[in-house]
């Protein structure tokens, strides 16, 4: 390489460095899109909208929420995996990120390789609920009814890969009964149909069922938690109600495409940590039975560890249940 060329290359490398350094330093200099993989009005959407406000303040940039629905959250994840790794497209996803690789043989992304983790956000139990005139008052009566009327009962979920699908699968396993499942693009429309009586039962996060349970619009049989919840004191836990150790806690986390600059991820992680200490977020989460993770949980490391351990946890359970999206 001659002197001029190597000098030119060095200058080019320097200016490239300056541009890259600036891109990180200036981040964010345009609105950030936060992708929700389910429809509006569901738990993932609710949690995202709640944390996006203080995150946006902290980052000094607008956060636009985009609901991309389909295939239990996998359509959105597939799109974010292919988005530019510039920090302007962020995905909120839940436990489905860890079940999809077993449920889908042709998943168009690899959760461990195509994303960087930003941090965990919440932990939330599920509620087993039914339309308000469903002919069962307790979980024992519900189980009895499902076993004897299996071909008449419809079970709503948010698609294969959704938390509600996982919970429904575990419920059907626990009572050894197959029901007809009705997939929706998210809990929002599923809950509307449950309240309207178009579908019979569902298992979904307290985030969006609590209001309807307390308002008497739907019936709750159990919470999939170890202990009763402060805001649903009359709803027994699954084990109290006779379903043994059937417990399920859903977790949410934020992702960006693989190879996003660590400096950008650091800014997103600290904004997430600030958001999780915001009083309005804390109060609303408490009302919705949704627990914000600790500051240690809201880190890329804790999130990456959760993701890979959950992929390993769910794979044999899903295979054993014989459930697949194919
Ligand atoms: N709760 C839904 C699920 O079953 C998704 C949503 O947030 O709408 O995964």
Q: What is the CATH number for 83?
A: 3.40.190.150
112 in any annotated domain = yes
| Ligand 1, CB within 6 Å, residue ranges | 38, 42-45, 94, 96, 158, 162-164, 186-187, 204-205
60, 108: one domain? yes
Work out whether strand 89-94 and strand 32-36 pair parallel, antiparallel, or are unpaired: parallel
45, 89: one domain? yes
253 - beta bridge partners? Answer: 93, 120
**Rounded distance between C-alpha atoms, residue 91 and residue 252, angstroms:** 10
What is the extent of the structural domain holding 201? 125-223
User: Which positions ≥6 away from 280 have C-beta within 8 Å?
Assistant: 50, 53, 54
Substitution candidate for ligand 1 out of 205, 250, 289 with most atoms within 8 A of CB = 205
pTM for the whole structure: 0.92
Q: What is the CATH number for 166?
A: 3.40.190.10
**Rounded distance between C-alpha atoms, residue 270 and residue 124, angstroms:** 22
pLDDT of residue 22: 62
Contact indicator for 203, 129 with CB cutoff of 8 Å: yes
pLDDT of residue 24: 77
**Rounded distance between C-alpha atoms, residue 104 and residue 205, angstroms:** 23
- The total domain count for the chain is 2
11 in any annotated domain = no
Selection from 118, 151, 134, 107 nearest residue 197 by Cα? 134
- Integer-rounded Cα radius of gyration of the chain: 22
Supply 67's token pair. 């609901």
Substitution candidate for ligand 1 out of 40, 44, 199, 314 with most atoms within 8 A of CB = 44
Supply 19's token pair. 């541009």
Through-space distance between the first and last CA atoms of the chain, rounded to whole angstroms: 55
Kindly give the distance from the C-alpha atom of residue 164 to the centroid of ligand 1, in angstroms, as a whole number: 6
What does the pLDDT profile of the chain (326 residues) look like in tens digits?
333 333 334 444 444 444 455 667 899 999 999 999 999 999 999 999 999 999 999 999 999 999 999 999 999 999 999 999 999 999 999 999 999 999 999 999 999 999 999 999 999 999 999 999 999 999 999 999 999 999 999 999 999 999 999 999 999 999 999 999 999 999 999 999 999 999 999 999 999 999 999 999 999 999 999 999 999 999 999 999 888 888 999 999 999 999 999 999 999 999 999 999 999 999 999 999 999 999 999 999 999 999 999 999 999 999 999 999 98
284 in any annotated domain = yes
């Amino acid at each position: 390489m001659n002197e001029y060329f190597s000098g030119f290359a060095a200058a080019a490398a320097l200016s490239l460095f300056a541009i890259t350094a600036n891109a990180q330093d200036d981040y964010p200099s345009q609105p950030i899109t936060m992708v929700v993989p389910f429809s509006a009005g569901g738990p993932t959407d609710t949690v995202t909208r709640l944390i996006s406000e203080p995150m946006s303040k902290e980052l000094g940039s607008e956060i636009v929420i985009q609901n991309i629905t389909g295939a239990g959250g996998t359509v959105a994840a597939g799109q974010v995996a292919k988005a530019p790794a510039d920090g302007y497209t962020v995905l909120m996803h839940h436990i489905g990120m860890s079940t999809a690789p077993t449920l889908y043989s042709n998943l168009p992304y690899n959760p461990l390789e195509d994303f960087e983790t930003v941090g965990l956000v919440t932990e939330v139990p599920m509620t087993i609920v039914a339309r308000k005139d469903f002919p069962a008052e307790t979980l024992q009566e519900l189980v009895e009814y499902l076993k004897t009327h299996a071909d008449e009962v419809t079970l709503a979920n948010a698609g294969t890969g959704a938390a509600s699908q996982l919970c429904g699968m575990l419920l059907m396993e626990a009572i050894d009964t197959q029901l007809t499942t009705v997939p929706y693009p998210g809990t929002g429309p599923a809950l509307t149909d449950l309240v309207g009586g178009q579908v019979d039962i569902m298992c979904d996060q307290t985030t969006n069922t609590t209001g309807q349970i307390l308002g008497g619009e739907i019936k709750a049989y159990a919470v999939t938690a170890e202990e009763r919840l402060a805001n649903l004191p009359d709803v027994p836990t699954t084990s109290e109600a006779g379903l043994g150790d059937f417990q399920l806690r859903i977790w949410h986390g934020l992702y960006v495409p693989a190879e996003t600059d660590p400096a950008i991820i650091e800014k997103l992680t600290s904004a997430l940590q600030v958001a999780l200490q915001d009083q309005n977020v804390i109060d609303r989460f408490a009302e919705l039975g949704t627990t914000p993770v600790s500051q240690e949980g809201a880190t890329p490391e804790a999130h990456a560890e959760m993701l890979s351990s959950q992929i390993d946890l769910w794979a044999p359970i899903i295979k054993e249940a014989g459930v697949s999206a194919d």
